[in-house]
Amino acid sequence: MKYKRISFGQGKGSITHNNRTFIANNVDKNRITDNITFISRPINEVYDELFGDAVECYNARQKRNDRKIHDTYYEHLFHCKPSNSVITASDKRKSFYEDVVQIGKMEDSGYGTEDFQLVADCLTEYMNGFQARNPNFHVFNAVLHMDEATPHLHIDYIPIGHYKRGMDTQNGIAQALKEMCYGEGKQAIARWREKEVDVLNEICRSHGIEQLPPEKARGTLEVSEYKEQRRKAEQLAVENEKSQSELDALNDELKSATEKKVKIVEIDSIETKKSRFSKNKISISEEDFQNLSNLAKKQVAGVKQNKNLFS
């Protein structure tokens, strides 16, 4: 069994990047033809297909002209022409959503490794069942990138919800998730994503791959930004380890100094008195003499031990 990390996170959402209309620096131009395009349709056509009839039915029910939708549904929501990048409406609805799915890392599944094609096959199998599993997420663009460091999927979809008020069919991710039985609230999308990861895990296991503990998704960061943040995090980890070592050394020095202070206090506490035979000599009790002798032996033993450590 092979062990790999699975990444399943929200993408930035750029159709021009996904379809290689725009080619970033991390793309190997000689391998662009290796990419697999599952579906690629213009977003304006898809919006008209999904919501065109709903707009007509809605307008037919309106008695006042100012309540009718006079633009396309896309323009009505986002107040701009259809775009190949994600547009967010005033009510927080997005023109489309993107998920980026990857199995493994460059080190164990990247271009040139023996598992490069294996993870690509797993991702292909996962994508082939995506639309059937998620009927309320209409996929209009999906590409498996094989021309970067590690194979990964870009899945772009429009959420479809059905309503009793207003248009009967609308762009609405909360309603879409509810209709697909993922409940309501902020955790609905998390429950959906967890279920999809379970599906991906099953596919991976059938190909001899077991999931390692997941890492935090990079969210909407560009690859270069993500790598820079990882580099900084690793650097901080090294600095923290060094600082901890220095702190441990200081604690050892403090402990040693404290022990020496205690020994000095013990010596100072010994009761002394002048001898009858000489004013320059002192005498101590037999018990105090024995304690002082034992203390001296411990100090000599400590010096020998330290000497052995550094010899």
One domain, residues 70 and 202: yes
Q: What is the mean pLDDT of the chain?
A: 85
Lowest-confidence segment of 88-102, 158-172, 219-233 by average pLDDT: 219-233
Quick one: average pLDDT of 44-73?
95
CATH label of the domain that carries residue 98: 3.30.930
One domain, residues 200 and 256: no
One domain, residues 8 and 137: yes
One domain, residues 121 and 185: yes
pTM (2 d.p.) = 0.69
Per-residue three-class SS string for 89-117: CCCCCECCEEEEEEECCHHHHCCCCCCHH
Say if residues 18 and 156 touch (Cβ distance below 8 Å).
yes
pLDDT digits (tens, 9 = 90+) for 122-179: 999 999 999 999 999 999 999 999 999 999 999 999 999 999 999 999 999 999 999 9
Helix pair 188-206, 116-128: axis angle to 10 deg: 130
One domain, residues 130 and 106: yes
Domain boundary among 219, 254, 280: 219
One domain, residues 249 and 112: no
Residue 220: predicted pLDDT: 46
Q: Which of 190, 100, 189 is nearest to 151 (CA)?
A: 100
Half-sphere exposure of 82 (CA within 13 A, CB side): 14
One domain, residues 196 and 124: yes
- Angstrom distance (rounded) from CA 105 to CA 305: 49
> Is the pLDDT at 64 greater than 70, yes or no?
yes
Residue with more model confidence, 106 or 294 = 106
How many independent structural domains does the chain possess?
A: 3
Range of the domain at 64: 2-219
Quick one: average pLDDT of 86-101?
96
pLDDT digits (tens, 9 = 90+) for 238-250: 677 667 777 777 7
